[in-house]
A and B are shown apart, each in its own frame.
Chain A
Amino acid sequence: DIVMTQSPDSLAVSLGERATINCRSSQSIFYTSNNKNYLAWYQQKPGQPPKLLINWASTRESGVPDRISGSGSGTDFTLTIASVQAEDVAIYYCQQFYSSPPTFGQGTKVESK
């Protein structure tokens, strides 16, 4: 199984500041045949199910604010919240869909400072 490791486990940011979450896969999740990275990001607020934010490492789902962006390739990926708002307080998970079984990172908790 591909192991997904996120860092940090948690971070506290002031509203309006930038938050950066890293995700590393134990092997490359980039397909050269279609030039795509097989990575998704999810947001989970307390008491709610996860919500898909980004797929293919950088494609935002409809309705996701553009202050949230994904980047990276191969084994190293980043989710950036450019200016954290109160509604961004949540746990964020990365997930690889390059090979089965699909696997998730352990999560990164974003809190307000």
Chain B
Amino acid sequence: QLQLQESGPGLVKSSETLSLTCTVSGGSVNSRSYYWGWIRQPPGKGLEWIGSVYYSGKTYYHPSLESRVTMSVDTSKNQFSLRLSSVTAADTAVYYCARLTIVMAWPPNYYMEVWGKGTTVTVFS
């Protein structure tokens, strides 16, 4: 059964870079059928898609975050990663990684089929 597990610092200083990794087990990131993505949820609020990465390394980011986001995939470790630079308090959220089932090739679109448990990231000053 596919499982995803987020890892990374729970506290990040304002203006610095948030870095998270998602480790996939029970399946492979090296798949043509899926993108791998990140979604976040600020405290008490709704869900926001951040972006996605394909096994080939192709990425697609939310336009509002594009200037600060970098995603990558490591097929040898069966992991994918998120980096978000110049963080502020507004980036405080639970960050989820997910497997995204592709419904449209380009620009890619998908629904979020399997989610990790999430990790809380707090930005402090």
Interface of A with B (CB < 8 Å)? 38, 40, 42, 48-52, 55, 93, 95, 97-107
CA distance A88 to B103 in the complex (A): 28
Q: Is the CB of A95 within 8 A of B63?
A: no
Q: Is the CB of B107 within 8 A of A100?
A: yes
**Distance from B47 Cβ to chain A, minimum over Cβ atoms (Å):** 4
CA distance A101 to B48 in the complex (A): 10
Q: Which of B44-79 contact A (CB under 8 A)?
A: 46-49, 60, 62-63
16 interchain pairs, CB-CB under 8 A: A40-B111, A42-B47, A42-B112, A48-B117, A49-B116, A50-B47, A51-B115, A52-B111, A55-B101, A97-B111, A99-B107, A99-B109, A102-B49, A102-B109, A103-B49, A104-B48
SS of B interface (majority): strand
The size bracket of the interface on B is: 20 to 34
Interface of B with A (CB < 8 Å)? 46-49, 60, 62-63, 96, 101, 103-104, 107-118
